[in-house]
Amino acid sequence: MSRIQLAFATASIFILFCASIRIAVPSSFAALPSPPPEESQSSEEGQKQSLEFGAKAEESAARSALAEVRAISQGIQALKSQVVDLNKDLRLMEEKLLFPSSTRYTVFVSLKSDRFFDLEGIKFKLDGELVATHVYSEKQRGAMARGGVHRLYVTNLNEGKHTATVFFTGLGSNERPYKRAVSLDFDKGPGSGYLEISVADDASAREPVFDLRQW
Amino acid sequence: MKGFRCLAINSAANLALPRLLCLVLLSLSCQISAAERQVLSRADLEYGTVLFEYYQQDFFHGLIEHAYASTLENARARSDQGQLLKGDMALSYGMPDEANDIFKRLLALEPDGLVRNRTWYQLAKLYHSRSQAAEAKSALDNIHGELPRDLSMDVHYLSTLVNRDGDYLRKVEKSLANLSPDDPQHPYLLFNLGVSQLGVGDTVAAASNLAKVVSYSDRSEELQVLADRARHGLAQIAIQEQRLTDAWAYLQDIRTQGLYSNRALLAYAWTAIRQDLLTTAQPALRLLTERSIALPEVQQGKVLLGHVYEKQGALAQALKSHLQAEQDFKAGLEQLKTAHQIVDRGQLPRELTENLDALGDPSGWQAAEVSDDYQIIAPFLVDLLASNAFHQVHDELSELYAIQDNLEHWSRQTDQHRLILKNADGKVLDDNIRRAITDSAELKTRLASERKELSLRRRTLDVEEQARFDALLENAERELQLLDDKLAILQERNAPYRQPVSYPAMVDRQHQRIAEKRRETEQYIARLEPVIRELVRAELQKHEERMTYYLAQARLAKARLYDTALMKAGEMQNTSGPTPQRQQPAGSRLQTPK
């Protein structure tokens, strides 16, 4: 074997081994910064010395990167918390400006089951006027199927009689395109109101059930 | 370039994989039955918007929704479970300090068993993310009683990461036997358990668990990748134990495409070489050398292929292979120059994080295409993308960019807010209302006059008819009174609805906050952008050093081969006397270089 081959044979197999056998990170930790314990990294690096290129520069860059992140970590955490709070306050402020509590009316969409209907989009008409449409992504559908509720529309509505009409599009059983419209005449009382547009399953009829309900 | 693209996607898939699985696990960890999904109150609707963001893993907006629901005094947001979810989101959004406070506060309230166990689990997760293994272990020890299936899986998973001693791992292995092998986490648990067992030297148990992971390979693309990793691990265990034939068998089963195929092909070739199966090593090396020069395995493979030919005595092929390698390394170094230029450009850090995020979210229907610059630079960053330092900086930067975008959106809204205030100030009763008031007043006068007339006519009627007329008149009087009242209300509305005087000050205050937070965000971004640039530069430098080294090796090999050929030609000339033609060595078709 040549010198190169020998060097490869001894070092590369070892590098490959170290590089390939790492913990798989599949679970909810993925959402965390989840640094693997640092000591395991440094021990790996110690073993890889023989055929490492630019190791010093890489190590120095990594060390200073981690130091910088640590140095500003608390500040960034505080900033995130303050921005969350600011967003909440800004939303409350906009509601005060645009939707006084006496006339505010909010429309939500919920999925109570999704066995017989795969919701793709919604069109919402209020008193005959198309006021909101939404196309749902896979992620959004998944979130709704697990209990999430989508806030579709916020508006001002006077007390009295109104009509809401919703057009649903999606895939029914057997992946067939499915369209349906549902209407509701309702009385808006004093104070803010909620309207829930829901898609549920009728297990006995094996088909979806669409419903509008005022809360 | 196909290899480039493939690898860029694969590298991103490496990042995306945990996220995809995280979605699956989220669905398990907070499973809600159909009955629970029913909206039973207004509070359920309000709180449902928090879950909508949470299940999409948009923790930033999830926290905003939670804060908003809490302001509405939503009972679910304020409940123990609501607080637990808030802590979970804070932890996932990179606010461990706040999450820590929430969990500690929650535990101080002595919640019910399930919430308590989940809180301890979250705390253990938090400690693990800070590399505080002892604290994480202690938090896990506080989990008692019967656990729901999802929590049980999560706890076992974390245990394999936190507890690395052999006794504990055996306990985990025993309890794993009670869990369903159909759980999505099961193969990952087995894999991590196997790796942890390898760490404590229990290679037999490790090999057994890795072999179980291999059996999942036919279930999905994700699990095929995991199975490839497991096969690779098994092969390396076999190589260390000098069982080259076994290693060979494992390596043969690894797919020649996918995330771990490069390492596998190189290891396959090396194992063949060590068994003197030089011809068998060639196809793997040839396949490998067709891929991107940016990959360390490919770089090594290029030099190795020449050596395999040389060892077989195929000197012409060896020389050709080294010449090709030399050209490829030169091209690779040119690519590195372009990559360096991209790094020096202003927008690289943002582009890098945006492209990684786009690739990490393949399920979104609005998923973006990666940029050209990213496609050039990404193959050089495969190792870097998997590093802890890069991940930490990338995650923080990515969130800071998201905050910056959010605050820029609000900044644009400030003009709208001012416009709303201005319009509200200038609001007057419109013409329609004024006309209605005038018409109503005229109607009132006319009706009053008609009433007087009716009253006079009544007196002309006889007594019996007067009595009947009285009832009608009384009814008309009541209607008139109602109209009077409504008119009075309308007339009182001389001025339209005015917003409270405090609103302009409130709006200004919020606008100031937006400006302050924008400045602060930009400062943090300015501190982190050079850090990520430095990490990328160091990675490129590593590639440069490696490629320069291999380029030199290829040149040396080429020179050596020329020398050998010339020496052989000289020897042949000397032995056969002066001949007009130069003869080439047997078995080779070596040509003089131009």
Span A94-123, average pLDDT: 88
CATH topology of domain A104-214: Immunoglobulin-like (2.60.40)
pLDDT of residue A191: 86
A63 pLDDT higher than 80: yes
Low-confidence winner among B34-38, B83-87, B92-96, B537-541 (lowest mean pLDDT): B34-38
Residues of chain A contacting residue B69, judged by C-beta atoms under 8 Å apart = none
| Better-predicted residue by pLDDT, B112 or B438 | B112
| Better-predicted residue by pLDDT, B33 or A160 | A160
Closest chain B C-alpha to A130 CA, distance in angstroms = 23
Give the C-alpha separation, B4 to B9, whole Å.
9
* B residues 141-200 lying closer than 8 A (beta carbon) to A: 154, 157-158, 161, 185, 188, 191-192, 195-196, 198
Residues of chain B contacting residue A146, judged by C-beta atoms under 8 Å apart = 26-27, 30-32, 37, 51, 55
Closest chain A C-alpha to B131 CA, distance in angstroms = 5
Q: What is the pTM of this model?
A: 0.73
pLDDT of residue A148: 93
Residues in Cβ contact with A64 at an 8 Å cutoff, skipping those fewer than 6 apart: B531, B534
* B residues 509-548 lying closer than 8 A (beta carbon) to A: 510, 513-514, 517, 520-521, 524, 527-528, 531-532, 534-535, 537-539, 541-546
Residue A134 near residue A150 (C-beta atoms within 8 A): yes
pLDDT of residue B53: 96
Residue B301 near residue B289 (C-beta atoms within 8 A): yes
Please report the ipTM that was assigned to this predicted complex.
0.79
B35 pLDDT higher than 60: no
SS3 state at B184? coil
Distance between start and end Cα atoms, chain A:
81
Contact of A84 with chain B, judged by CB distance below 8 Å, is answered with yes
Low-confidence winner among A21-30, A76-85, A194-203, B542-551 (lowest mean pLDDT): A21-30
From the number of C-beta atoms within 10 Å of its C-beta (0-12, 13-18, 19+), residue A49 rates as exposed
A38 pLDDT higher than 70: no
Residue B242 near residue B271 (C-beta atoms within 8 A): no
Domain spans, chain A: 3-19+34-93, 104-214
Query: Identity (one letter) of the amino acid at B366?
Result: Q
In the numeric block, the tokens 């003869």 are attached to B583
| Better-predicted residue by pLDDT, A119 or B444 | A119
Residue B99 near residue B118 (C-beta atoms within 8 A): no
Q: What are phi and psi of A76, to 5 degrees?
A: -65, -40
Residues of chain A contacting residue B51, judged by C-beta atoms under 8 Å apart = 143, 146-149
Averaged confidence pLDDT in chain A: 77
Minimal CA–CA distance to A58: which of B388, B297, B330? B388
Chosen for mutation from A32, A39, A151, A212 (greatest number of chain B CBs closer than 10 Å) is A32
pLDDT of residue B577: 59
pLDDT of residue B490: 64
A49 pLDDT higher than 70: no
Give the C-alpha separation, B382 to B15, whole Å.
11
Q: A112-121, B89-98, B487-496, B582-591: which has the highest mean pLDDT? A: B89-98
B399 and A79 within 8 Å at the Cβ level: the answer is no
Domain spans, chain B: 428-492
